[in-house]
């Protein structure tokens, strides 16, 4: 399986989570006005709240624990249904008609909890089934389907699968953006109407998608980090440039506490000698027990500690392509230095984007 159970729970958090900022440092209030604990991560909509149970001391009778348990029961029921479909219609079955019936059945699963399960349930199926799952996510044309596509575009099993998910998501975002632009144009020049329409329109790239990208860039999974950078590039999410600059150089966490050397290498010669004689006395007999010592002559290299630095070259190339396209000038000279990238981003790129936006707003519009 692709994910451990903790990762599956994280999937639920990423796909079902409400917009970023719903939980504040001061605590969270659910739809019934009840305060959630500071460690709670709210997921779901309205009064239906579940949390990531990362606190082993959390009261199993608390509202958070009960909501999470209800979510897991629902997901277990969905897993059983999907496994039944897999056995009856997919796998090694070559009957085209039965496979098509199975593909139609999975389109009936549209709840957010079902999408969480579907991100993993069909990992071992043939490409036609896996691609049909992605098409199903895209056809939903809602925030849940978009988040599922983003998750698969970053954490999917194979590169072709991740690329397909990213393409579907980018196409969906482009259509949303075009629809919003058309809606704004239909409002004409009425400023009040424009403002009201702006309040009703949701952000094209949701906080859920941004959260999935940010999470992958913060993890040790190289493939996920590169895929997240690729998705940020395709969606032109320039706010992730500093995170990508930092993530292109990964330093895995050290091992357990230890004493002594990590390793040693010796090039030399060893000579044995009699270091001591131990008398051995018995009745009417005396003997000597020789103690052998070793003298080493040469050079020894002792390794006390080591740091492994991983350079994610694919993420670096993605970062350079993204920034060079946006800035209009090459940025490869910044290399793998996150400080240099940060200084460039703050002092040059952000002012460049601001000036570009101001120029667009002041440009005359042709009648």
Please name the residue that has the structure tokens 């909509």: 45
Structure tokens at 111: 């709840």
Q: Which residues have CB under 8 Å from 249's CB, separation 6+?
A: 309, 310, 311, 312, 336, 338
Q: What is the pLDDT along the chain (367 residues), one digit of tens a residue?
A: 454 433 434 444 444 443 333 333 333 333 333 333 334 443 333 333 333 444 555 677 777 778 878 888 888 999 999 999 999 999 888 888 999 999 999 999 998 889 989 988 899 999 999 999 999 999 999 999 999 999 999 999 899 999 999 999 999 999 988 887 776 665 554 444 443 333 333 478 888 999 999 999 998 889 999 999 999 999 999 999 999 999 998 876 555 556 678 888 999 999 999 988 888 888 878 888 899 999 989 998 988 877 778 899 999 999 999 999 999 999 999 999 999 999 999 999 999 999 988 887 776 655 5
Are the C-beta atoms of residues 152 and 130 closer than 8 Å to each other? no
Instruction: Report the C-alpha gap between 249 and 339 in whole angstroms.
Output: 12
d(CA 232, CA 355) in angstroms, rounded, equals 22
pTM of the model: 0.70
Q: Do 35 and 27 meet the contact criterion of CB atoms below 8 Å apart?
A: yes
* Cβ(303)–Cβ(263) below 8 Å: yes
106, HSE (Cβ side, Cα atoms, 13 Å): 32
């Amino acid at each position: 399986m692709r994910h451990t159970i903790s990762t599956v729970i994280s999937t639920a958090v990423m796909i079902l989570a409400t917009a970023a900022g719903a939980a504040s440092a001061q605590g969270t209030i659910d739809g019934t006005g009840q305060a959630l604990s500071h460690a709670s991560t709210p997921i779901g909509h309205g009064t239906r709240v579940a949390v990531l149970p990362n606190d082993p001391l959390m009261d199993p009778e608390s509202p958070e624990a009960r909501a999470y348990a209800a979510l897991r029961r629902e997901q277990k029921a969905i897993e059983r249904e999907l496994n039944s479909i897999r056995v009856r219609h997919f796998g090694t079955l070559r009957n085209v008609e039965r496979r098509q019936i199975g593909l139609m059945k999975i389109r009936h699963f549209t709840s957010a909890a079902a999408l969480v399960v579907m991100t993993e349930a069909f990992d071992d199926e043939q490409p036609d089934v896996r691609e049909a799952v992605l098409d199903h996510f895209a056809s939903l044309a809602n925030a849940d389907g978009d988040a599922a596509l983003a998750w698969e575009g970053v954490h999917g099993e194979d590169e072709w699968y991740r690329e397909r998910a990213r393409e579907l998501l980018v196409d969906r975002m482009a259509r949303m953006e075009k629809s919003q632009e058309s809606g704004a144009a239909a409002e004409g020049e009425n400023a009040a109407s424009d403002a009201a329409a702006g309040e009703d329109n949701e952000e094209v790239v949701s906080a859920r998608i941004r959260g999935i990208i940010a999470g992958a860039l913060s993890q040790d999974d190289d493939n996920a980090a590169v895929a997240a950078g690729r998705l940020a590039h395709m969606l032109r999410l320039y706010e992730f440039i500093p995170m990508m600059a930092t993530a292109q150089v990964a330093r895995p966490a050290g091992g357990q506490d230890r004493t002594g050397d990590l390793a040693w290498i010796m090039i030399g010669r060893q000579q044995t000698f009699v270091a001591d004689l131990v008398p051995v006395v018995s009745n009417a007999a005396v003997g000597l027990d020789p103690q052998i010592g070793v003298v080493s002559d040469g050079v020894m290299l002792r390794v006390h500690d080591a740091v492994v630095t991983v350079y994610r070259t694919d993420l670096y190339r993605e970062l350079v392509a993204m920034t060079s396209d946006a800035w209009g000038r090459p940025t490869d000279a910044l290399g793998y230095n996150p400080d240099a990238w940060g200084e460039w981003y703050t002092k040059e790129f952000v002012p460049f984007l601001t000036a570009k936006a101001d120029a667009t707003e002041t440009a005359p519009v042709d009648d």
